[in-house]
Amino acid sequence: MGTFWKDLGQGFMWSRWRELSERSFGSGLGFLSRVLVLAFVLILLLAIPKFVKMPGEISGQLAKFDTLQFSANLTMSSPIKFPSSDPVAILDTSGAYTELTSERLLINRDKIQYKPFFKVREVKTAELKDLKNNREKVRMFLATLVFFILPAVLFWAFIAVWLKYFVMIFMLSIVLFVLLDLTHWRRTWKELFVICCYVSTLPLLAEVIVGAFNARWLIPVLSVFDIVTLYLLPAVVLSVLAIGAALCVHYNVQEEK
């Protein structure tokens, strides 16, 4: 871990870019991944006040309901399990499961049972129709449900951002390689790709952290299937840093000669 913090600092030092560019393809991707992990950890730390306030906010929103009625007729031949082996959550109206055992969530015809930690909590489906008198139970259930879903949301968000930056750096390094190959500033594609990974710290941290609170500040310009969004400011900063790093690497090589 100490090496990571050293590399993180060197990524801002132009005199070290030549040394960083000589590292392996895997080293560059590993550094990119660790920076992204750092960004998500910082998001979670900054979001702690919101997590603390969440149950109260849910209660305030539920106060807007007097009644909430469900009209559904579910008939199941067998339970639905997530995942199919060693399930964490089970949806069952067939009567095969009536009590929570090793799972974290069980939904059947009569009740919803969930276990956030060690104690099993329960909400009757009939109680959902009277939120005014059962607001506390529903509030606890919804808050717990958010925390159940949060790890999956963070995982897929991590994958989406990682793939986006991999593609951006891959394409940017190809463009730089082609352009520089026409001049006396030639560098290998591997060097350009690796140094782009090491100088991506600033735009990557800025995009993940700022985007989690107000993505409009980053100026969105393109959305891919409403899943991945390309932001103008991080893309411009990454491009400027990549061009500067490529030229500095060449300058350092000339100095060594």
Predicted pLDDT of residue 239:
93
Mean pLDDT (whole number) for 110-126 = 74
Query: What mean pLDDT do residues 142-171 have?
Result: 85
Query: Can you give the pLDDT at residue 11?
Result: 86
Instruction: Report d(CA 60, CA 72) in Å as an integer.
Output: 27
Strand bridging mode 89-91 / 105-107: parallel
Q: How much is the average pLDDT of 199-205?
A: 93
| pLDDT confidence of residue 152 | 77
The pLDDT value given to residue 30: 94
Mean pLDDT of 219-237: 86
Q: What is the dihedral of CA 105, 107, 113, 117, to 10 degrees?
A: 10
How much of the chain, in percent, has pLDDT values that exceed 90?
Answer: 28
From the list 233, 205, 203, the residue with the least C-alpha distance to 219 is: 233
The more confidently predicted of residues 58 and 216 is 216
- Percent of the chain whose pLDDT exceeds 70: 79
**Range 127-140 burial, b when 16+ CB lie within 10 A, else e:** bbebbeebbebbbb
**HEC per residue, 187-215:** CCHHHHHHHHHHCCHHHHHHHHHHHHHHH
Q: What is the pTM of this model?
A: 0.74
* Least-confidence region, from 104-108, 128-132, 136-140, 142-146: 128-132
pLDDT band at 146 (very low <50, low <70, confident <90, very high): confident
For residue 19, pLDDT beyond 60: yes
DSSP code for 229 = E
φ/ψ region of 219 (left if φ > 0, alpha if ψ in -120 to 50, else beta) reads: left
pLDDT average, residue stretch 168-183: 90
Q: Which H or E run includes 41?
A: helix 25-46
* More confident of the two residues 108 and 168: 168
Q: How confident is the model at residue 229 (pLDDT cuts 50, 70, 90)?
A: confident
